Amino acid sequence: MKILIVTLLTGLFHYTNASDTLKLNQALKLRNIQITARANGGLGEDALKLIIKNNLRRPLLIELDPGTQFRSENPEVQDLIIFEDEVIALAPREQKELNVYAACTQLSNLGPGAEDMYQMGSVAESVLAEVAAIVARNDFKNSTAQAAVWAITDNNPTQGLHNGDNVDVTWELATLIARHKSLQLPEKEQFFANPLPFRRIVYSARKDLVYHAPEPFKGTLAIYKNDGELVREYFNNKFYENGLHFYSIGINNIVEENTQYIARLTDENDEVLAEHTLDPSEAYVPAKEEILSVNFEYAVRKKGVYDLVVFDDKENLVEYIYKDRPLTPGYRSAKFNFIYAQREVEFFVFKVIDSEGNFTHEQKILTKR
């Protein structure tokens, strides 16, 4: 029994030996560990998944520094900063997964989607590192913490910093940021005298808006609040050819809980072509194009102009492959790849239509469901 106790104590000492305790970036630089970082989708709690593997044949203690930055491999997706100060114990050759709280440092970029990959960067400098330290020390991981980051990285207004759930921490963050931005320092008494209730959330949503244009069009794509207020315009009256179009859209903000944002694609007559509500609780799923091989023959009985038109399985117009094409009598071959993204569609119908609106040929082709 005594031998067992000595063995356990020796093992414990080996785990807590200061020489085996390393900062995350130090351990990575020494190649003692491997790190894989990927987003879980969204911001805040459990936003970033870290997979850490001990490369050594001895145990390690790895310190996560609050303020460590992670760079997105996709330049259109926002970078992240973590607020964790955990110590991770790794046995020899052991691999561990952990989800960490992460805030965004690029307000205008798209929110991270599940499986977006990241590379670890350095610990943030100066005031941003101080914000991370305050948040980690007080376990203050909420929308106010994200608002504090955006007030520094994106010069966002500081109104979102007032949080009645913890006036002391809120005032400390507000004072730090006011000094950094050379603003008048907030009075702590005002924070206690009128503590606002905590009703704000981080509204981070991302979506691929898909539109299959039957014909060329001029479109305007923008994000609006649910009361109709314009929030962001991506393009205005821009010309697009017929066919399949993807538009990656997103919104990041600190808002009241009942706020809602809508992405809308309209034509030059303000008719809505496609519309989606941006829901922060909805995981980002990239739109995926499919390719349908089209190959059939049809007969032209008389000289004239013809359209080749695509309809879905609900008889909705999808696209004009060609319009008003002059054709002479004979057998014709239609052979091309048709690109679509309507995964719920079971089949498409390709119709040849003459100038009088008569269907001279119909070809049904099943999709790859």
Query: Are 82 and 8 spatial neighbours (Cβ–Cβ below 8 Å)?
Result: no
The whole-number pLDDT of residue 249 equals 94
Q: What would the two tokens of residue 66 be?
A: 């609050």
**Nearest-angstrom CA–CA distance, 75 and 70:** 12
User: Which residues are CB-contacts of 233 (< 8 A; sequence separation ≥ 6)?
Assistant: 220, 221, 222, 223
Report which of 182, 122, 195 is spatially closest to residue 152, judged by C-alpha positions: 182
Alpha-carbon distances of 120 from 51, 125, 318, 368, rounded to whole Å: 12, 15, 44, 39
The whole-number pLDDT of residue 369 equals 63
The whole-number pLDDT of residue 193 equals 65
Q: What is the pLDDT along the chain (369 residues), one digit of tens a residue?
A: 333 333 333 343 344 454 578 999 899 999 999 999 999 988 888 899 999 999 999 999 999 999 999 999 999 999 999 998 889 999 999 999 999 999 999 998 999 988 899 999 988 878 999 999 999 999 988 888 999 999 999 988 876 677 767 888 888 998 999 888 888 887 777 766 665 555 678 899 999 999 999 999 999 999 999 899 999 999 999 999 999 999 999 999 888 878 899 999 999 999 999 999 999 888 888 889 999 999 999 999 999 999 999 999 999 999 999 999 999 999 999 999 999 998 889 999 999 999 999 999 999 999 976
The whole-number pLDDT of residue 4 equals 34
- Beta bridge pairs of residue 213: 243
